[in-house]
Structure formats: C-alpha cells, structure tokens
Amino acid sequence: TQLLEQSPQFLSIQEGENLTVYCNSSSVFSSLQWYRQEPGEGPVLLVTVVTGGEVKKLKRLTFQFGDARKDSSLHITAAQPGDTGLYLCAGARSGAGSYQLTFGKGTKLSVIP
C-alpha cells in the first residue's frame, strides 16, 4: 500500500523556472520530512515540518505542511542546475517505541542550464 503519493514522478525544466512538487496521503502524520538524494549517495534531509499549516523556507525552497497534516508541497523558485536530484517526502508515524518513516517514491528533477 502506497501511503504517500508524490507528483510528478519526473520533472525537467529550464534554469530559472519555478516548480512545485506535491506529496499527498489519506493518512495523518506527526511530521513530514523532505530529502534530496543525488546519484550514488544517501538521502540528505532538507527540512522537517511538524505543525499543520506550517511553512518553512530554505533559500529558494519553500515547504508547506497541510492543515490536516496529510499532505505537503515543495516549491522551488528560480531553479538552478544544482537543484537537480531526487526529492523524497517521508511521513512519520509513531509506534512500537520508535517513529517509522513512510516514503513517497520520489520526484526526479532535472534542471537544464
């Protein structure tokens, strides 16, 4: 069962364009993380959002957690080639003495110079 749906799966844009990646679920999460992964490396944490409606900014990246804590979005302004990579969202649920993360399948972003 895929609890987190990410869209789009693939995105190829020109340098300078804006884009939004979506992460949707029917489940409520205690928090949601966004990661970026480059080829041959492990995912690297970008941000954690915890409160419904929360907005966090990281330079040109804006992350939003839905009011009901079921969905999230990542918006990139004026994309750069260095933004190229696989973007993963992950929702956290508590249980069995530890939080477990459920990952979306990812959005592969290519920014063309």
Partner 1 sequence: DAGITQSPRHKVTETGTPVTLRCHQTENHRYMYWYRQDPGHGLRLIHYSYGVKDTDKGEVSDGYSVSRSKTEDFLLTLESATSSQTSVYFCAISLNRLEGETQYFGPGTRLLVL
**Interface positions with partner 1 (CB under 8 A):** 30-33, 35, 40-45, 48, 50, 88, 90, 92, 94, 96-101, 103-106
Q: Nearer to partner 1 by C-beta: 82 or 97? A: 97
Tokens of 3: 């609890």
CB of 83 to partner 1, least distance (A): 19
Q: Nearer to partner 1 by C-beta: 75 or 105? A: 105
CB of 93 to partner 1, least distance (A): 9
Give the CA-trace dihedral at 74, 78, 79, 80, to 10 degrees: -140
Angle ∠(77,79,81) on CA atoms, nearest 5: 160
Dump strand ranges (E) for the chain.
Answer: 5-7, 10-14, 19-24, 31-37, 44-49, 55-58, 61-65, 71-76, 85-95, 98-103, 107-112
Q: Nearer to partner 1 by C-beta: 12 or 100? A: 100
Q: Nearer to partner 1 by C-beta: 9 or 18? A: 9
Give me the phi and psi of 94, to 5 degrees please. Answer: -85, 155
CB of 74 to partner 1, least distance (A): 16
CB of 78 to partner 1, least distance (A): 27
